[in-house]
Amino acid sequence: MSRKPVKAAVRTLQKTRTAARGALLWGYEQRLAREVGSHGKLPRHLGLILDGNRRFARAAGMQREVGHSFGAEKAHEVLQWCLELGIPAATIWVLSTDNASRDPEEIAHILKLLEQEARKLATDPRIHSNGVRVRAIGQHDQFPPTVLDALRELEQKTAHYQGMRLNIAVGYGGREEIVDAVKAHLQTQAQAGASLSEVAAALQPEHISAHLYTADTPDPDFIIRTSGEIRLSGFMLWQSVYSEYYFCDVYWPGFRRVDFLRALRDFQGRDRRFGK
């Protein structure tokens, strides 16, 4: 008996099973979307730590640069999900100050991607039709001029919008942000004629908060980190004091809408006590 009919039957069965699993997942995703949408409780400010690009590429047998490219495409998808749900603000962490010690070729690729994605966002119809205000936060002094130009153009084109706030944390570190905020406060007080002892005596937490990169955005209610790492790594250290956290095992490029909805459903089931 020929094996060809058997192999064909096996392939047909595998395709049928794959289609069935896909249909089940789609149905589950739709149910999750209804649950999350009907609950009404969504983060006012969502923080996203985009982790696992390199490991995703390695697991798939690809070069690490491909992982970063897939990660950039995933960020566009997640932006769409946020817009569909009406989440008012999101901060995505793309590149940390600690990443500066990586291979220069990898950093150059990430910065080139950043430039390309900034230019793409500057003309993205979703950004303009939804009035999304985009800003790059972090320390950018060492970025190439072309990257700075692209970020500046994106910020200028969206500066007047009053819709969703999208912060792109790049060249960002939580400790560096706090140091920058303290410096800014000291400079402001010095220009007003206050002495160092007077500034120290009057210093309050809100004085630091007023000079953070995200000073005009509510503190994040909810922070999601992908890749299975259970730590913040310095992400929004000051602002996250009362944030809820969610750690997802999937690498960032593989982050699915169903994973996103599960995280939000988990957030909706929590009782936030703000330290009380």
- Which amino acids are annotated catalytic? 51, 99
**Tell me, what amino acid is at 10?**
V
**Tell me, what amino acid is at 241?**
V
Q: What is the dihedral of CA 78, 81, 82, 86, to 10 degrees?
A: 170
133-137 and 244-247 beta bridge pairing: unpaired
For 107, 179, 188, 215, the CA distances from 183, given in Å and listed in that order, are 28, 6, 9, 15
Q: Is 221 exposed, middle or buried (0-12, 13-18, 19+ CB in 10 A)?
A: buried
Q: Write the DSSP string, 208-261.
A: HHTTSTTTTSPPPSEEEE-TT--S-TTTTTTGGGG-EEEE-SS-GGG--HHHHH
Annotated binding site: 51-56, 64, 68, 96-98, 102, 225, 231-233, 244
136: phi then psi, degrees, rounded to nearest 5: -100, 125
How far is Cα 246 from Cα 88, in angstroms, rounded to an integer? 19
Do 82 and 263 contact (CB within 8 A), yes or no? Answer: no
Give strand pairing partners of 172. Answer: 96
Sheet holding 133-137, edge to edge: 133-137, 165-172, 89-96, 45-49, 222-225, 244-247
